[in-house]
Amino acid sequence: MIKLLSGNEAFARGAWEAGVTVASAYPGTPSTEILEAVVNYKQDIYCEWAPNEKVAFEVGAAAAMAGARSIVTMKHVGLNVAADPLMTLAYLGVKGGFVAIVADDPGMHSSQNEQDTRNYAKFAKIPIFEPSSSQEAKDVIVYAMDISEKYETPVIVRSTTRVSHSRSLVECRDRREPNEVGFEKDPPRWVPVPLWARPMRVKVEERLQKLRQAASASEWNRIEMRDTKLGIIAAGITYQYVREVWPEASVLKLTFSYPFPDELIREFAAKVDNILVVEELDDLLEQHILAMGIDCLGRDFVPGIGELSPTRLAAVRAAYEEGKPAQNKFEPDTDLPGRPPVLCAGCPHRGVFYALAREKAVVTGDIGCYSLGTFKPLNALDIILCMGGGISMAHGIDKAKNPKPVVGIVGDSTFFHSGITGLLNIGYNKGNSTLIVADNRTTAMTGHQDHPGTGKTLMGEPTTEASIAEFGKACGIKRIRELNPYDLPEAMKIVKEEIAADEPSLIISKGPCVLKEKLAIGGIHEVIEENCKECGMCLKLGCPAIEGGSGKPKVNPLLCVGCNMCGQVCKFNAIVSKEDS
């Protein structure tokens, strides 16, 4: 059966075909849709959202130690969170197949940094696979599971944004019978106390040698001979760009890309006159080939910053051949207004940011929708580092005796991800910062995934609804308040009071994600032109439904959900609900 699947849907299908029975993940673009597709197989695969990637990784690892096949999925920065169990799982190994699908985001379409996950495979001394299409994404999971079981090693499958979010045709197959499960007690195998960890260390090196030969022999790495003047080495999506831009060149296509297949690289090098290495982000392969004593070109021509594309590679080709890049007939206009992502019309975070922006405080923030509060006109965030960092960084600035008060912000999903430990630190170490959880009862930015606070599992079952306030109490925070972000005077009053308080406080700002609920909060608003003095106060909300720029503002009825924040900031009663007027 042939289906048009995204790379992420194909990974999920591959897991099902490979006989996977356990899947755990924390959502993160571009990896999110993998588990959202796995849940379609919930009768065969137990799947869950874990509160963070470290937990997901540990769940999957343990399932594989007991003999099951398991997958865990995350984005590149998520693997940093899971790096601790990764490095030791490489020593313990697994019994059932274990694949971590890690999606990199070259070009930072939706991420706070660019990082090349291949470094982690090298660091942990485990194999990595890089598919270049949805078909390969599906098939490679089955193959990676076999390699994982044969060599008793955890395996990484590296995706990138363009593999995860591209759709292409996939021929689907049946499901393999799942493994028998039964954990066998064997402390020297599973317990890395120094006595037993030292021999594990030796086994890791021996395994890496065997894997290097397996990579050279693998059908997943292939030499495509065409013209012998130029041979290009590429892995992952860059293979597809290379085929597009250099259709006549010979190619060494790597999918089982680490350990580097030395024998195959030597064989290819002997067949072509020149070698060009085309790799996205870091130059791991190029440096390795040079260290093998084989001459090649790469980073001198291929950019190491940002995402590659056929357009960029066409320029690389032109530079390599010392020609001139072809001129586009149509150039984009350069004076167009930017169209940055914004908090949605009616987003409850807007109210709390509006209140915060009116205080003289340093605000440490977090990733997620509310990172959009950084931009004009809200200007409400001063620092963003990583998930959960909004809370712990506030404490750092507080303890540095910063002259201005400090406020830390996280979302509800981020709070459960890794905010709780930071809050516990503040309670324990006598901090004095104000923490705000912007609680919209979902993981909004990645597309409304459930989390421990939503009362629902990924497989759709009702469950315990974790209380942020109770966690606050347990962490030793005594001042805990809720606010309604749609009530601007109340929000401003509470934020002011808590910043002034002489002890740490936790504010839970509660309002639903309007994009998820798709519910109107009130009547659609309109501007009564004779009352409008063009003072611009309503525009300071940064609401996409209020269109300004020239003359009196207008409310776009297609976008307005009737939250009435604009009505509250207008001193002249010029913005009202149509139902009231």
Partner 1 sequence: MSENKTTSVVLCGVGGQGILLASEIVAQAARIAGYDVKTNEVHGMAQRGGSVIAQIRYGKEVYSPIVQEGTAAVVGALENIEALRYAQYLAPDGLVVVNSQMMVPVTVSMGVAAYPKDAQERLKAKFPNLVYFDAGKIAVELGNVKCANVVTLGAVSKALDLPDAAWKEAIEISVKPKFLALNLKAFQAGRDYK
Residues that bind partner 1 (CB under 8 A): 2, 4, 29-30, 32-33, 109-110, 133, 162, 165-169, 237, 240-241, 243-245, 247-248, 309-311, 314, 326, 328-333, 335-344, 369, 372, 376-377, 445-447, 536, 539, 542, 544, 546-549, 553, 556, 558
> How crowded is residue 25: how many other Cβ atoms within 10 Å of its Cβ?
31
Spatial distance between the Cα atoms of 141 and 473, rounded to a whole number of angstroms: 44
Residue 475 is labelled as binding a ligand: no
- Nearest distance from residue 447's CB to partner 1, in Å? 8
> How crowded is residue 108: how many other Cβ atoms within 10 Å of its Cβ?
12
Residue 560 is labelled as binding a ligand: yes
Tell me which H or E stretch contains 350: helix 349-357
Residue 538 is labelled as binding a ligand: yes
Residue 347 is labelled as binding a ligand: no
Residue 566 is labelled as binding a ligand: yes
Beta strands in 351-478, from DSSP E residues, in sequence order:
362-365, 383-384, 406-411, 434-439
Which residue, 93 or 131, is less far from partner 1 as judged by CB? 131
Residue 296 is labelled as binding a ligand: no
Token output for 325: 């890049």
- The dihedrals phi and psi of 253, each to the nearest 5 degrees, come to -95, 120
- Nearest distance from residue 554's CB to partner 1, in Å? 9
- Nearest distance from residue 263's CB to partner 1, in Å? 27
241: left (phi over 0), alpha (psi -120 to 50) or beta: alpha
Interacting residues of 268 by C-beta distance below 8 A, sequence separation 6+? 223, 231, 233, 250, 252, 275
Hey, which residues does 363 pair with through a beta bridge?
407
Interacting residues of 54 by C-beta distance below 8 A, sequence separation 6+? 81, 82, 84, 85
Which residue, 62 or 308, is less far from partner 1 as judged by CB? 308
Spatial distance between the Cα atoms of 386 and 365, rounded to a whole number of angstroms: 9
Which residue, 427 or 542, is less far from partner 1 as judged by CB? 542
Task: Please give the angle made by the CA atoms of 319, 323 and 329, to the nearest 5 degrees.
Answer: 100
Which residue, 270 or 326, is less far from partner 1 as judged by CB? 326
Residue 369 is labelled as binding a ligand: no
- Nearest distance from residue 311's CB to partner 1, in Å? 4
- Nearest distance from residue 570's CB to partner 1, in Å? 15
Spatial distance between the Cα atoms of 580 and 525, rounded to a whole number of angstroms: 9
Residue 563 is labelled as binding a ligand: yes
- Nearest distance from residue 336's CB to partner 1, in Å? 5
Which residue, 21 or 111, is less far from partner 1 as judged by CB? 111
Which residue, 148 or 160, is less far from partner 1 as judged by CB? 160
Which residue, 105 or 116, is less far from partner 1 as judged by CB? 105
Spatial distance between the Cα atoms of 418 and 429, rounded to a whole number of angstroms: 18
- Nearest distance from residue 466's CB to partner 1, in Å? 25
* Cβ atoms of residues 460 and 525 within 8 Å: no
Annotated binding-site residues read 532, 535, 538, 543, 560, 563, 566, 570
Binding-site residues for [4Fe-4S] cluster sit at 532, 535, 538, 543, 560, 563, 566, 570
